[in-house]
């Protein structure tokens, strides 16, 4: 890892991103398809804020899809 990259986890897997990356960058990279919800460090983030949440080294992102059935 270099100083211009950070490591974050998405659904427990580690990935490297540029230091100025946002949650939107991570969602796009991961290829998440709607519908899903996103949380950073267990805090829900509304979709309208994805581009405003700047990631930090060690952040943990959860992308959660709804489960249907019963």
Q: Name the H helices within the chain.
A: 23-30
What is the per-residue pLDDT across 6-24, written as a single tens digit (0 to 9) for each? 999 999 999 999 999 999 9
Task: Report all structural domains of the chain as residue ranges with CATH numbers, in order of start.
Answer: 5-64 (3.10.20.30)
* Integer Cα distance of 57 and 53 in angstroms: 13
| Percent of the chain predicted with pLDDT > 90 | 89
What is the pTM (predicted TM-score) of this model? 0.90
């Amino acid at each position: 890892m270099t100083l211009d990259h950070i490591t974050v986890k998405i659904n427990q897997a580690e990935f490297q991103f540029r230091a100025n990356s946002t949650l939107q960058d991570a969602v796009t990279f991961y290829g998440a398809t709607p519908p899903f919800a996103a949380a950073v460090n267990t805090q829900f983030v509304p979709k309208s804020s994805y581009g405003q949440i700047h990631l930090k080294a060690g952040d943990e992102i959860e992308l959660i899809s709804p489960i249907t059935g019963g």
